Amino acid sequence: MTNAEIIKVKNVRKTYRGNGIEVKAVRGIDLTIKSGEFTAIVGPSGSGKTTFLNTISGLDSPTDGDIMLNGKDLRKMNGKELSDMRRDNIGFIFQSYNLIPVLTVEENIEYIMMLQGIKASERKERVSQILKEVELTGFENRFPPQLSGGQQQRVAVARAMVSNPTLILADEPTANLDSKTSNGLLDMMKRLNKETNMTFLFSTHDPLIMEKADRVITLKDGKIESDEVK
């Protein structure tokens, strides 16, 4: 396992202003995430978790501070450069799955690779392999509405990982799943993390994710309250 810095943020702040109201969502965060980490960012609602993940991924711009992803300065990128950076470097897992209902499992998983210009034969091979990893071989031609919540989230994990991104960002990935399904999904992600050295960063309220994470960062009022490495 390498110790390369995947994310390095310095004094990141995010303030929302509107209708004469100022909300300081993130209040000066310094943080480094290294290759292969399985880390959870936790805290109560309003603590700044999702805002912080959005700034890390370039979905939102910080009001102040520096964000480096794979050694590249996000604040110096334009919209297209940020979009390309996300496409090629970040896999996203959402609590609502965000699968495209009119596409099959196979088509959902290969979608990002199509945008990356990867040839069809390689896409098919990668999809076949990742479906084995997430234990969904044989589900290639099913549509999302034909799957259980746990199966849909496994497809979402497969889609996030199949293009071999530097970082997986998972925002409340177990929120809509029962505890048994959540446990199985997290064990699978932990196994894939160890086998591939892919970096996982969760935003969550789920005690189960906190238990399985190798590092737990607690946010409160937009600041890091604690940073525990197990």
> What does the mean pLDDT of the chain come to?
92
What is the predicted pLDDT for the residue at 2? 57
Pairwise CA distance, residues 214 & 40, whole Å? 8
Give the chain's end-to-end CA distance (angstroms, integer): 17
Q: Domain of 74?
A: 5-229
Exposed/middle/buried for 47, CB within 10 Å: 0-12, 13-18, 19+?
Answer: buried
Pairwise CA distance, residues 172 & 158, whole Å? 16
pLDDT of 4 > 80? The answer is: yes
pLDDT tens per residue, range 141-195:
999 999 999 999 999 999 998 988 989 999 988 888 888 888 988 998 898 899 8
Number of domains observed in the structure of the chain: 1
For residue 151, give the CATH number of its domain: 3.40.50.300
- Three-state SS string over 75-101 comes to HHCCHHHHHHHHHHHEEEEECCCCCCC
What is the predicted pLDDT for the residue at 1? 46
Pairwise CA distance, residues 155 & 109, whole Å? 7
> CA angle, 207 as apex, 24 and 4 as ends, to 5°?
70
What is the predicted pLDDT for the residue at 133? 86
What is the predicted pLDDT for the residue at 151? 93
pLDDT of 24 > 80? The answer is: yes
Share of the chain above pLDDT 70, in %: 99
